[in-house]
Structure 1
C-alpha cells in the first residue's frame, strides 16, 4: 500500500490532477497493488490467529501443570494465566478490527456512491474508533506489564514461589 500511495501522491505533487487510475496501465498497476495488499493482510491475519491459538494452547497446557504448587502459588499462577489469556484475546481483537478498518470503509464508500446516500460518513467513525482502540490497547499493555507494588515490597524466596516463577518463565521447546 505504501508503494501505491507513494505513486499516487508523489505524482500528484508535480501534476495535481493526475491519477494513477487515468491510464489502463496505471489502473492495472493500482489493482495489482491493492490485490497484493489485500492478500498480504489476509495472510497476516491467518498467521496471527494461528500464533495466538498456539500461545493460548501453550498457556492452557501450562495451567494444567500447577496442581503440585502450594495454594498461594497456584493463585498467583492462575492470575498470571488469566491476565495473559485476556491479553491474547485483546490483541487478536485489535488485529482483526485494524484489518477490518482498512477494508470496511472502502465497502461503505462504494455503497454510498452507488445509492447516493451522502448524508453521513462511516469512514470517520471507523477510523476514530480504531484509533481509540489502539489507545486503549496501549494503556492495557502498559498496565499488564507494569510491576505489581505488592510483589516489589515482598522479597519472599520460598521454594513454591521460585518453582512457580521458573514454571511461568520457562521457555517451551517444541
Structure 2
C-alpha cells in the first residue's frame, strides 16, 4: 500500500510556500514551520507522519520559553474565544468535533472554572488533542492534570500539541 502524501509535497516547496501552507499547524507559531523547512525537507517529510515528526523535533529542541509561547498560543477549551467565534478554523473544527459547542450551561461553567484554576496553577492554558474525545473525557483530564507538577504538565502540553499537529497534517493528505 503506497504511503499517503501531502499535496503538494512539502519537499518541493520553497520556504515561503511551505510556511504559507504549514505555518498554521502549530497554533499562531509559524516559526516551527520555518525552522522545519530550514532543516532541509526530503521525501520522508512528504507524508503527514514524516512532517509531523520533523516539526515535533523542532518544538522539542526549542527552549522552554519558546515552548511556553506555543502552549500559550492555544485557546481555552470551551472558552471565551470559542463563544465569540475568535478561534482558528482548525481549533473551531477540533472543539466542535469533541462536542464542546454543545455543552450545557453547567458544563460550560465547569470548563471555565477548570480553565481558570489550570492557568492559575501553571501559567498557561490547558491543551489537549481533543480529536476522538468528548467533553466528559476532557473534563476528567482536567481533574487529573491539575495534580501534575509544572514540569510534568509542560511536557504533557507539548506532547498534546504535537498530537494536534499530527492530526492537522493527517487532515491535509492528498485524496
Pairwise same-fold verdict (TM > 0.5): no
Band the TM-score falls in, shorter-chain normalisation? under 0.3
Larger Cα-atom Rg: 1
Of structures 1 and 2, the one with the larger relative CO (CA 8 A, separation 6+) is 2
- The structure carrying a bigger helix percent of its residues is 1
Q: Provide TM-score, normalisation by structure 1.
A: 0.24
